Amino acid sequence: MVLRTKVEITGVQGSPYLSVMHWDGTDQTDANGAIAAVAAFWTELEPQMSNDANWTTLEDVEIINTATGELTGVLSVNDINGAGTETTDRLSPATQALVRWRTGTIVNGRELRGRTFIPALTEAGLLDGQPSAGLASAVGSAVNEILGGATPLAIWHRPNDESVGSLAQVQTGSLWSLFAVLRSRRD
């Protein structure tokens, strides 16, 4: 089974943003661990995010059948809230940090990888057009928090015409050396 958590980020231009993560778990204890880890991740990033930005973990953790992608249940958790604290000017909503997750697991001839975009950044996170050392340090701490959680962060390969779904635990995460743009496929 796969657990799916969602974090909503509001208060800044382009919001609401939705950050979705998957976890290798099945029950309430795993759901609570996933929410604690994702909250720790975003808490570490608060000093890099605009003080206009607010984030909230959503109260429903979905249980998904790994192989079929069918929703099989929903677990309720307490929401956790936080807010950015940086007061310098915000960067363009298109300028986001990118965490790249690696599993080391090969599915259909390719490594199963994931990404997390970090919006609501400010000029404090920018140095010569690239992420600053402060932003890199904060992302490194956030990655350590989420990978050190009780429930393993995972990347889920959705089922398709060629194969059933599969799940792999994340082994490493790192900040991309450039900024990224998330273009929604669902707008």
- Over residues 29-86, the pLDDT tens digits come to 999 999 999 999 999 999 999 999 999 999 999 999 999 999 999 999 999 999 999 9
Residue with tokens 């953790």, as numbered in its chain: 61
Contact 54, 35 (CB under 8 A): no
- Dihedral of CA 120/122/124/130: which sign? positive
Which residue from 142, 122, 115, 116 is spatially nearest to 13, judged by alpha carbons?
Answer: 122
User: What's the whole-model pTM score?
Assistant: 0.94
| Residue 35 amino acid letter | I
Please report, rounded to a whole number, the percentage of residues in the chain having pLDDT higher than 90: 91
C-alpha distances out from residue 45 to 62, 142, 143, Å: 25, 7, 10
Rounded to a whole number of angstroms, the CA Rg of the chain reads 16
Mean of pLDDT values over 97-112: 95
Q: Is the pLDDT of residue 180 over 50?
A: yes
Other C-beta atoms closer than 10 Å to the C-beta of 59 total 14
